[in-house]
Amino acid sequence: EAGVTQFPSHSVIEKGQTVTLRCDPISGHDNLYWYRRVMGKEIKFLLHFVKESKQDESGMPNNRFLAERTGGTYSTLKVQPAELEDSGVYFCASRTSGGVYNEQFFGPGTRLTVL
Amino acid sequence: LAKTTQPISMDSYEGQEVNITCSHNNIATNDYITWYQQFPSQGPRFIIQGYKTKVTNEVASLFIPADRKSSTLSLPRVSLSDTAVYYCLVGDGTGGYNKLIFGAGTRLAVHP
């Protein structure tokens, strides 16, 4: 079974540009999460989808970030316009409904560098 | 939201048992205790989870005292490949299906 995949693995952009990150969860996983770790900080929750609906977006830092999950399959996270402080590693995770509490399956992350 | 406290770093040698203790004084009644492992350039990986007493799987054991204010992750006979960051997490109080709350983790270095 394929794990969670994220694309791209690395992205380098200039301040003010737009970047779109993609996450493909494990097939059949209704729950999809985005997290990020910015420079030297802890991994922080951004938002949680259940199928195509946003269950919790309390961690989204501001309105420059837009997450979508059309059709309840893959998800995209767009940053527009990107700022220097957005640099970090963005992780996606997924889980099935039910199952083991707190067990989420993480992708390898996308390393975003904003110059 | 429960906060966890764990050592910033630990060192060990191959073949030794490693115990990492985590404090979570404000754990909620319906919170589970979960440990994740993270290697460089990878996402965190679930290791083990428990609610009380002891849980064991093929990777580790988790010891939780009756008051649940702390927990200990035990890694038997570590190898170089166990060098990683280990995170202790407790739930967000809603039953464990929502966001994970990561702390700084414990950076374990295993030496030959």
Give the pLDDT confidence score for residue B98 in this predicted structure.
Answer: 77
- A80-104 burial, b at 16+ Cβ within 10 Å, e below that, comes to eebeeebbbbbbbbbbeeeeebbbb
Residue B73: the pLDDT is: 98
Q: What residues have CB less than 8 Å from B7, skipping those under 6 apart?
A: B20, B21, B106
Angle at B22 between CA B2 and CA B89, to 5 degrees: 45
Instruction: Identify the closest residue of chain B to A47 by CA–CA distance.
Output: B99
For chain A, percent of residues with pLDDT exceeding 70: 99
Please answer whether residues A60 and A67 qualify as being in contact, where contact means their C-beta atoms are separated by less than 8 angstroms: yes
Rounded to a whole number, what is the distance in Å from the CA of B84 to chain A's nearest CA? 15
User: Residue ranges of chain A with pLDDT lower than 50?
Assistant: none
Q: What is the pLDDT of residues B66-79, one digit of tens each?
A: 999 999 999 999 99
Structure-token match 């414990």, residue found: B106
Q: Are A35 and B100 within 8 A, CB to CB? A: yes
Condensed to tens digits (0 to 9), the pLDDT of residues B15-27 reads 999 999 999 998 9
In angstroms, the separation between the Cα of residue B78 and the nearest Cα of chain A is 23
CA distance A61 to A80: 12
